[in-house]
């Protein structure tokens, strides 16, 4: 990774380390309700919600050189390099003025995870993992009328498969470190949030102690 980590990234890393941010990774399959719960956590616990996908889309929209490169890679079906996403996350964290972050939908795989820790020198406080059966996630995705053209049955099943193959090893890695907080995401939204609140309140108590 040597030359890929440029001076600006190293400087951002130093500034971020000084900030001592609390980072929570939010993972769950497509349709597990992560977005809804992230919005609730932001409201109740004062976190800043960073979605890796949103940051990449915003960069593409900006028309920057970086954005054009990202757009071309996505069009060709390639995975955007971890360093690119991490740089966007780092900048967003530095610009936010907050020191508590929910990082949603990242790390998507083991390589993302290792790169994030190597570049930022940050380990998450914990991983919030929304567990939900494929049947339930499928039902939710097919019933939501957001006009997302990727919400058809074949695409949904492909997304599940990618999630299980790529993201579950990340969950297992952090589970081995005792850092995973599992939430039963199949319940109604209010009940799911009660479980989420318990996790964050316990974390606040730990920090205060």
Q: Is 32 annotated as contributing to ligand binding?
A: yes
| DSSP structural state of residue 24 | E
Q: Give dist(CA 107, CA 149) in Å, integer.
A: 24
Cα distances (angstroms) measured from residue 60 to each of 4, 83, 193 = 21, 16, 33
DSSP string, 101-142: EEEES---SHHHHHHHHHHH----SEEEEEE--HHHHHHHHH
Q: Is 35 annotated as contributing to ligand binding?
A: yes
The answer to whether 66 touches 59, Cβ cutoff 8 Å, is yes
Q: Is 182 helix (H, G, I), strand (E, B) or coil?
A: strand
Q: Is 108 annotated as contributing to ligand binding?
A: yes
Q: Is 2 annotated as contributing to ligand binding?
A: no
Q: Is 200 annotated as contributing to ligand binding?
A: no
Q: Is 180 annotated as contributing to ligand binding?
A: no
Q: Is 57 annotated as contributing to ligand binding?
A: yes
Q: Is 53 annotated as contributing to ligand binding?
A: no
Question: Is the peptide bond prior to 149 cis by the omega test (within 30 degrees of 0)?
Answer: no
Q: Is 15 annotated as contributing to ligand binding?
A: no
Q: Is 33 annotated as contributing to ligand binding?
A: yes
Q: Give dist(CA 73, CA 67) in Å, integer.
A: 10
Q: Is 109 annotated as contributing to ligand binding?
A: no
Q: Is 144 annotated as contributing to ligand binding?
A: yes
Q: Is 181 annotated as contributing to ligand binding?
A: no
Q: Is 107 annotated as contributing to ligand binding?
A: yes
Q: Is 106 annotated as contributing to ligand binding?
A: yes
Q: Is 85 annotated as contributing to ligand binding?
A: no
Q: Is 80 annotated as contributing to ligand binding?
A: yes
Q: Could you list the residues known to form a binding site for a ribonucleoside 5'-phosphate, using ranges.
A: 57, 78-80, 105-108, 148, 159
Q: Could you list the residues known to form a binding site for CMP, using ranges.
A: 112
Q: Could you list the residues known to form a binding site for ATP, using ranges.
A: 31-36, 144, 187
Q: Could you list the residues known to form a binding site, using ranges.
A: 31-36, 57, 78-80, 105-108, 112, 144, 148, 159, 187
């Amino acid at each position: 990774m040597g030359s890929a980590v440029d001076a600006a990234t190293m400087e951002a890393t130093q500034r971020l380390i000084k900030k001592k941010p609390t980072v929570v990774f939010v993972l769950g399959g497509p349709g597990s309700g992560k977005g809804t719960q992230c919005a609730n956590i932001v409201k109740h616990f004062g976190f800043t919600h960073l979605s890796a996908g949103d940051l990449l889309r915003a960069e593409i929209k900006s028309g920057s050189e970086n954005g054009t490169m990202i757009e071309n890679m996505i069009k060709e079906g390639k995975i955007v390099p971890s360093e690119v996403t991490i740089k966007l996350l780092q900048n967003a964290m530095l610009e936010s003025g907050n020191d508590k972050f929910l990082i949603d939908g990242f790390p998507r795989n083991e390589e993302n995870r290792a790169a994030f820790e190597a570049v930022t020198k940050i380990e998450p406080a914990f991983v919030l993992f929304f567990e939900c059966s494929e049947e339930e996630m499928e039902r939710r995705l097919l019933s939501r009328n957001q006009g997302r053209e990727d919400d058809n049955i074949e695409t949904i099943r492909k997304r599940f498969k990618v999630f299980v193959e790529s993201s579950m090893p990340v969950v297992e890695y952090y589970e081995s470190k005792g850092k995973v907080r599992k939430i039963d995401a199949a319940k109604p939204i209010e009940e799911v949030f009660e479980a989420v609140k318990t996790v964050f309140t316990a974390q606040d108590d730990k920090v205060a102690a």
